[in-house]
Structure 1
Amino acid sequence: MGSGINTVAGQPATVPKSSPNPNATTYRILFAISLAHLCNDTLQSVVPAIFPVIKESMNLSFTQIGWIYFTIQLTSSIMQPVFGLYSDRKPTPMLLPIGMLLSLIGMLLLSLAPMYALVLLGVVFIGLGSAVFHPEGSRVAHLAAGQRKGLAQSIFQVGGNTGSSMQPVISKWILIPLGQIGAIFFTFVAGFGVLLQLYVAKWYRGVLQTTSLPSKAKIKRAMNPERKQAIITAMILLIAIVLVRSWYSASISSFYAFYLEEVYKISMGNAQIYLLVFLIAGAVGTFFGGPLADRFGKRNVIALSMLGTAPCAMLVPFANEYWLYPLLAITGFILSSSFSVTVVYAQSLLPGRVGLVSGLIIGLAFGLGGIGALAIGELIEYFNISAVIQIVGFLPLLGLLSFMLPSDKKISSWTEEA
């Protein structure tokens, strides 16, 4: 009589490992990768935070400041799509801690650099570290999301935006008092980030061993030939919208403190408080954007984010120092509410291309925002900072492009027909 256990050639059958439920949301990993994102973007925020310090100590012009911002963004923008394509073909969990190690090296260089050229080299390493992290980090968030793609991307992105919001805190309370050498303390942040990424990479490796990711054949079928041109057009429009948003954010992050110092005679340290209000409100807006998109639609949130920002952005240069607080808070909140939504929207346009989407939206589009910072720096040199900040306030009006994007329902129908 059989024992009830199936055997092959007299050997007991092995019980397969239980694979994770693809519909379940793995919150511990979402929060871990969000915290890693916070570490990564905190390291990046040290770069603009150090501008007031090295502008004075190295006697830099606004154009040279723009070149530093351009360098970190361009390094990241060029490499992120490359790493994104690679990770789509060969997901590599160990890229997560490797990226943080690159940023650690860059932070050491930045804190110790005695000359402008070495500052740029340190910034290149920090940019490369970010380029390596984002595609794989976005994939981890996607895999851990289950059915809650918007919420998961919001959790992931709010970590990054919170890290970015540390810029004025770092500038006011660490770098301005301590000088350039103060940046060396952030090597500890990078070290913690490496340990955190090792933890996430272990889970990620386990998922890859038990879960089959979309094959290249499936990815190709998703790109229905008769829809290909419409999808390409939609991606170009989306990148243009993210680019405009990045240009506005870059102008505030890189030059607004100098504007407050010149126009309002506010000290550089106190000017960081206004910047902090804008960036923290942006981090909060990032979190709420995903759930709102899950409920009201991704395209609707993108359109509301850009056009809702426009009136406040145009008023900011003309408000007095007291009204600036609520105006900057509202502007930051509304503008950043579409931060995670644009990534999820792009993922729905290009299903199965999580790494490439991360490279294009988080990397290329945001990275090209560095061109905006460089151009704004040049304009300030030729005209004056007050006039340029006023002109920049009109950028969110280009959010009218969002009405040319296909609706969520239309994209769903394309995927079903693929």
Structure 2
Amino acid sequence: MPNHQPAVRRGLIILLSLGHACVDVYQGAVAALVPFFVAERAYTYAAAAGLVLAASLLSSVVQPLFGALTDRRPMPWLLPVSTVVGGAGVALSGVAGSYPLTLAAIALSGLGVAAFHPESARVARAASGGSHTAMGWYSLGGNIGFATAPLMVAAVVATGGLHASPLLVVPALAGGALCLAAVRATARPGYAASRSAGPRAADDWTSFVRLSGAIVCRSIVFVGLSAFIALHVRQQAGGGELAGTAALSVLYLGGAVGTVLGGALATRWDRITVVRWSYAATVLAVAGVVFVPGPLVYAFVALASAGLYVPFSLHVTLGQDYLPRRAGTAAGVTLGLTVSIGGVAAPLIGAAADASSLQTALAPLIALPALGLLLLRSLREPALPGLGGVAAEHGSARP
């Protein structure tokens, strides 16, 4: 293999990771905007949660469709276009004159996010050469975007109000330029030569469905916490808006650490074992978030973040390896449908909080990682990696 090919792969992973950050900042921005919509527009918990639903519901349907399309024909041009669309929707949400227009703007952002992930995951997996660590770095970009979203929103909206939201388009413009560079990199000979053309294993739909069910459980927990943890911690630990923003940042920053840790752990143990450990730890962590008072709640937020994010990139590669003939579809489901379904639960949590208390509404989230763990019990490492014979980091996958 020519020496320039690994450099092309690394460069492409870096570009995709940075572009991923610029896209996922808008997923994090929706949750970060919730307290400001509540404060400035007097939205109820249920109405605010509806914004989270608008961002995720469209993605839940559309993202697998984009995945199926990219399985039939690569569409790298989607990367810069979808990045700009995702940012434009959030930028317009604060200046929309009515609740329906705000929902429409948030939904537009969700469409952009939906179009980005399947194609970017397909390109990243091809560039990774089967490395769990490389996919961890790709996923890390998205987590950094999530983590910086509350800080970005606070810097813009806390000072200028919701009418300053058009300034939030800046990361999308930067991300569009990065993704355009990534698209050009895919046309270079070093990238084309690095892609495997070996035979692919048969699709294992039973294992994929079980994995997807576990991801749904994880998704509901994560979306529920990301939508309401800022408000919950302000009640639980005291303090004003900064206390809530700090909790949301801990949730997202812990995810950045957890994602890289997940890739590293998967090189030492098999992915299924690492994912199971993570779900078990999340049960305890979420219980602490819901019930532990005072500043100690931040420690449980960090633990919950790690438990939710250690398996994040492993979900994607496991899904692609269970469906090696449909890598785009697998990414669309694991990054899109199953993750976005969590947004459907957000209005239910908000309605329960309106009817009782936010703590009572968040308590059922404790049981969901346990349910996910049950779904994972019968899963085994895929017999062959999903890159058509490209070995994972330690060679062939464990049985």
Tell me, yes or no, whether TM beats 0.5: yes
For 2:124, the aligned partner's letter is: A
Question: Offset of 1:209 from its aligned partner?
Answer: 9.0
Equivalent pair of 1:58/1:116 in contact (CA under 8 Å): no
Equivalent pair of 2:254/2:305 in contact (CA under 8 Å): yes
Equivalent pair of 1:80/1:360 in contact (CA under 8 Å): yes
Match status 1:325 vs 2:308: no
Match status 1:163 vs 2:136: no
CA RMSD of aligned residues (A): 2.7
* Corresponding residue number in structure 2 for 1:125: 108
Match of 1:99 among 74, 82, 86: 82
Match status 1:72 vs 2:72: no
| Distance of 1:207 and 1:73 partners within structure 2 | 37
Match of 1:398 among 371, 374, 389: 371
> Which secondary structure state, in structure 1, belongs to the residue aligned with residue 228 of structure 2?
helix
Equivalent pair of 1:161/1:279 in contact (CA under 8 Å): yes
Match of 2:15 among 22, 32, 35: 32
| Distance of 2:190 and 2:327 partners within structure 1 | 14
| Distance of 2:164 and 2:345 partners within structure 1 | 28
Query: Within 5 Å, which residues of 2 pair with 1:13-412?
Result: 26-148=9-131, 150-206=132-188, 210-211=192-193, 222-223=201-202, 231-408=204-381, 410=383
Q: Deviations over 1:276-313 (max 9, x none)?
A: 11211111101110121122011011101101221122
Q: Deviations over 1:88-144 (max 9, x none)?
A: 111011111111121233133213212111111111111111111111111121121
Equivalent pair of 1:69/1:373 in contact (CA under 8 Å): yes
| Distance of 1:166 and 1:315 partners within structure 2 | 24
Q: Deviations over 1:193-248 (max 9, x none)?
A: 11111100011233699459778x966xx32xxxx6xx222111111111111111
Q: TM-score, normalised by structure 2?
A: 0.90
Q: Deviations over 1:11-53 (max 9, x none)?
A: xxxxxxx8985x8882111111000000001122221111111
The gaps in structure 2 that reach 5 residues or longer are 390-395
Question: Offset of 1:174 from its aligned partner?
Answer: 2.8
Change (3 A) 1:265 1:330: closer
| Distance of 1:119 and 1:356 partners within structure 2 | 30
Equivalent pair of 2:4/2:190 in contact (CA under 8 Å): no
Change (3 A) 1:145 1:25: farther
For 1:186, the aligned partner's letter is: L
Equivalent pair of 1:81/1:360 in contact (CA under 8 Å): yes
Equivalent pair of 2:324/2:385 in contact (CA under 8 Å): no
Change (3 A) 1:264 1:308: closer
| Distance of 1:85 and 1:403 partners within structure 2 | 25
| Distance of 2:126 and 2:7 partners within structure 1 | 10
Question: Offset of 1:344 from its aligned partner?
Answer: 0.7
For 1:174, the aligned partner's letter is: V
> Which secondary structure state, in structure 2, belongs to the residue aligned with residue 295 of structure 1?
coil
Length, aligned pairs only: 389
Change (3 A) 1:327 1:25: farther
Change (3 A) 1:25 1:393: farther
Equivalent pair of 1:25/1:147 in contact (CA under 8 Å): no
Quote the sequence identity (%). Answer: 27
| Distance of 2:42 and 2:189 partners within structure 1 | 51
Equivalent pair of 1:314/1:394 in contact (CA under 8 Å): no
* Corresponding residue number in structure 1 for 2:393: none
Equivalent pair of 1:243/1:366 in contact (CA under 8 Å): yes
Query: Within 5 Å, which residues of 2 pair with 1:3-18?
Result: none
Question: Offset of 1:320 from its aligned partner?
Answer: 2.6
Equivalent pair of 1:24/1:145 in contact (CA under 8 Å): no
Change (3 A) 1:68 1:207: farther
Change (3 A) 1:187 1:404: same
| Distance of 1:107 and 1:123 partners within structure 2 | 6
Of 389-398 and 247-256, more deviation after overlay is shown by: 389-398
Question: Offset of 1:168 from its aligned partner?
Answer: 2.7
| Distance of 1:208 and 1:179 partners within structure 2 | 47
The gaps in structure 1 that reach 5 residues or longer are 1-17
| Distance of 1:78 and 1:305 partners within structure 2 | 27
| Distance of 1:209 and 1:88 partners within structure 2 | 18
* Corresponding residue number in structure 1 for 2:392: none
